Amino acid sequence: MPQLPPVDVFDYIVFGATGDLTMRKLLPALYYRYRDGQIPDQSRIVGTARSPLSRADYQGRAEKALTEFVKPADFDEATARRFLDLIHYVSLNGAEADSTWPALQSLLTEAPEDRIRVYYLATAPGLYGQICENLSSHGLVTEQSRVVLEKPIGTDLESADAINDHVGRYFPENHIFRIDHYLGKETVQNLIALRFANPVFERLWSSDAIDYVQITAAETVGVESRGPYYDKSGALRDMIQNHLLQVLCLVAMDPPGSLEADSLRNEKLKVLRALRPIAPDDVATFTVRGQYARGRTADGTTLPSYLEDLGEDATSDTETYVAIRAEIHSWRWGNVPFYLRSGKRLAEKCSEIVIQFKAAPWSIFPGKPRANRLLIRIQPDEGVTLSVSTKDPTLTDSLALRPADINIAFEKAFGTRYPDAYERLLLDVVRGDPILFIRRDEVEAAWRWIDPILRGWAENKAPLHTYPAGSWGPEAARALLAQDGHAWHEDMA
């Protein structure tokens, strides 16, 4: 059921086409949109990677990916066959100037010059600049070309600047789409609707009524086969610098003047720039980092440690868990802590935002009413729950209170499938709509805040805690909130 009209005919050229992201996310997302009638049949998806594969070999891999990563109920044999016909493959080392570029050139120039071209770089970020340079020197950057950069852009501000400068020599900023798939999640977009279409929330959205905010992205998986990337990255670069800071921006920003991309991005940027810096000497006070040790699932299965996951004799001080007490220096948010946390091998897979309101200043009831809490569940069980106090109906002869929830479970309420974040984002690039993509200055502002924390950790100014796999993270993360008299969601009464 298409929500928008089909996009214009396009060529989508994916660098890193044999990788995990392409197989797990990009191809299934394009399949869904094709099935929904949003992709015209003349469009082409061109995989490129170093492996010497034929077109048929690659189509075979793509087919396997679809059977594995598209829900069986959504997989239609005939549609998949037609979708696979859109797929081409060019064996190419995008980082080498004298690789088989003529093969890509001749494939692309079969199409009219004004066809939309999207170059999706699902490779190591260190290659982005070189690939763009090679695209340009082989005459492949047309007026209608865009480039998509996967996160993380660099490993710090300096390397991010170098990548952005290099790419920026060949593509203008409005043709560079820096993807952060959290922005494509329905529930993250829904934050904009929830906040700016419902004055009931927006009127209370400040330190006047809000006590503190928690943003969590917890995963049960470990580092899996991504050890070589992850060990150089760690949770701060992998999740906080991008996904969690973007969510924080949407929670904290002022109302944008319109739904025009730059209007929204200007407001997000103001939030990033208002984050109180955490100096290297302060990392022990405001951050907690941890690495999972051996542990157990709730049903008693043993889980390996991070070092065991990395492989024999591995040593590493990379964090797989981060908690941060952030502050935003603005009138709206003065004195409201924003607690951010993300970790691998935690007790549950869940991404959520908790808005904890202040308690009533005075109580006429026996006992204190519990303060209201708004829980925004990004995934799974996407929805919103407002905790309120009601009269306890079981105690008919008194005005005793009882906590209750006002709950919207989106999937049930709207009876619709929740698409994967990549579905919307991949076609937004074709539409040329940058609203859910990150502008260069946002990337820079995020690194500017993250870099001193990385420096403090590199200088060992905060200990690296361990936590049992399958738990909610290091004890020190509890203490981080306890010092403010607060608790993480799972520990809340």
Q: Which residues bind ligand BG6 (CB under 6 A)?
A: 217, 219, 238, 351
Query: Looking at beta carbons only, is 353 or 401 nearer to ligand BG6?
Result: 353
CB of 333 to ligand BG6, least distance (A): 25
Q: Is 243 a catalytic residue?
A: yes
Q: Angle of helix 421-431 relative to helix 27-35, nearest 10 degrees?
A: 80
Beta bridge partners of 326: 338
Contact 405, 386 (CB under 8 A): yes
Q: How far is CA 493 from CA 158, 486, 489, in A?
A: 44, 11, 9
* CB neighbours of residue 312 within 10 Å: 6
List of E strands, 75-173: 87-91, 116-121, 145-149
- The answer to whether the annotation marks 185 as part of a ligand binding site is yes
Check 88, 175, 243, 489 and give the catalytic one: 243
Query: Looking at beta carbons only, is 117 or 178 nearer to ligand BG6?
Result: 178
Distance, CA of 456 to CA of 464 (rounded, Å)? 12
CB of 41 to ligand BG6, least distance (A): 30
Q: What angle do CA 246, 151, 463 make, to 5 degrees?
A: 75
Nearest CA to 160 out of 140, 183, 176 is that of 176
Query: Looking at beta carbons only, is 329 or 349 nearer to ligand BG6?
Result: 349
Q: How far is CA 164 from CA 16, 252, 438, in A?
A: 19, 26, 12
- The answer to whether the annotation marks 475 as part of a ligand binding site is no
- The answer to whether the annotation marks 181 as part of a ligand binding site is yes
CB of 219 to ligand BG6, least distance (A): 5
CB of 23 to ligand BG6, least distance (A): 15
Query: Looking at beta carbons only, is 351 or 385 nearer to ligand BG6?
Result: 351
- The answer to whether the annotation marks 296 as part of a ligand binding site is no
Range list of H helices, 115-223: 128-137, 157-168, 186-196, 199-202
Contact 320, 217 (CB under 8 A): no
Beta bridge partners of 48: 15, 90
CB of 226 to ligand BG6, least distance (A): 7
Query: Looking at beta carbons only, is 58 or 321 nearer to ligand BG6?
Result: 321
Distance, CA of 201 to CA of 198 (rounded, Å)? 6
Question: What residue number has its CB nearest to ligand BG6?
Answer: 238
| Residues marked as catalytic | 243
* Known binding positions for substrate: 181, 185, 219, 238, 344, 349
* Known binding positions for NADP(+): 50, 151
* Known binding positions: 50, 151, 181, 185, 219, 238, 344, 349
